[in-house]
Amino acid sequence: MWSDVAPGTSPTTRKAPPVTGFLRIEQLGKAYVPARPVFADVSFALDKGEFVCIIGHSGCGKTTILNVLAGLDTATAGHVIMDGREVAGPSLDRGVVFQGHALMPWFTVRQNIAFAVKSRWPEWKRAQVNAHVEKFVALVGLSHAIDKKPSELSGGMKQRVGIARAFSIQPKMLLLDEPFGALDALTRGTIQDELMAIVRQTQQTVFMITHDVDEAILLADRILLMSNGSDTPQGYVPGGIAEVVVNPLPRERTRTSLHHLDGYYALRNHIVDFLVSRAKAH
């Protein structure tokens, strides 16, 4: 089901807007116990340059889907096709940022990002690598800390380095697994703003997991609402994409203006209602 939220109204079902199918997920399923798949028949698509968030309770399979998209896990059923090719294993075409920064502690910020850049373009000379690294460090506001090691950085600064590293390899798609989940609210808000600015500048395609409803509303063009598997009188029903919500708010929205926008509360209440009463959390 596709939903929309007109200003001042409740979300209503509507036909999906057309997508080019830059990324296509077709009938994806994952089962550790054959009779009780975690999720099944998950199908959706992302347009190039689109920012999509997925929300659902723990155990519904969000991270498994992201790991399959990243090539770090395999699905039991279905296919993932990106830019006309089936995803099979990790690739520099997909940049991944996890909740943990995953920086190499013996490297400086510059060296951590340069390592990724040299993996992407092994033929580049040192000066070219350095210029590229410095550009992306500047994008996340860390030029002053470029020669510091992770132990000298705050949690928020480490996540900025992770984001800069992911963007620096200029992937076709960015995959974010709750990258701000461990940060305090103020730092989280600042990095959200920086992420939005970079995404708009680079026209990056992004798939992101979040548990934060306001974060999804702020960042996403569309929000996938995922249900947990559950036992019903008719038998076990696997989890899956229960609804796709199209964000009707202006794309140039900001954190400070978000709650003043027409349609914000209807959209937020719809998502919260899903999580509270329809997601089958367990």
pLDDT by position in tens, the chain (length 282): 345 443 344 444 334 444 457 899 999 999 998 889 999 999 999 999 999 999 999 888 999 999 999 999 999 999 999 988 898 888 888 988 887 768 899 999 999 999 999 999 999 999 999 999 999 999 888 999 999 999 999 888 898 898 889 889 989 999 999 887 767 777 777 788 888 888 888 888 999 999 899 999 999 999 999 999 888 888 888 989 999 999 999 988 888 888 899 999 999 999 999 999 887 644
Between CA 235 and CA 241, with CA 240 as vertex, the angle to 5 degrees is 140
Looking at residue 31, its amino acid is: A
CA angle 98, 100, 106 (to 5 degrees): 120
Output DSSP code: residue 274.
Answer: I
pTM of the model: 0.85
**All domains of the chain in start order, with CATH:** 2-89+207-247+261-278 (3.40.50.300)
The token duo for 94 is 């997909």
DSSP SS3 for 46: strand
Q: What stretches of the chain adopt beta strand conformation (E)?
A: 2-4, 12-14, 23-30, 39-46, 51-55, 77-82, 85-86, 94-97, 173-177, 206-209, 222-227, 230-232, 235-237, 240-246
Tokens of 236: 């076990």
- How far CA 5 is from CA of 97, 166, 245, 266, 268, in Å, comes to 30, 33, 8, 7, 10
Query: What is the secondary structure of 195-229 as a DSSP string?
Result: HHHHHHHHT--EEEE-S-HHHHHHH-SEEEEEEPP
The predicted structure's pLDDT at residue 30: 93
CB 42 within 8 A of CB 31: no
User: How much is the pLDDT for 3?
Assistant: 53
**Residue 272 has which token pair?**
């919260």
**234, 209 contact by CB (below 8 A):** no
Say how far apart CA 40 and CA 55 lie, in whole Å: 16
Neighbours of 125 (CB within 10 A): 9
Tokens found for residue 276: 């509270």
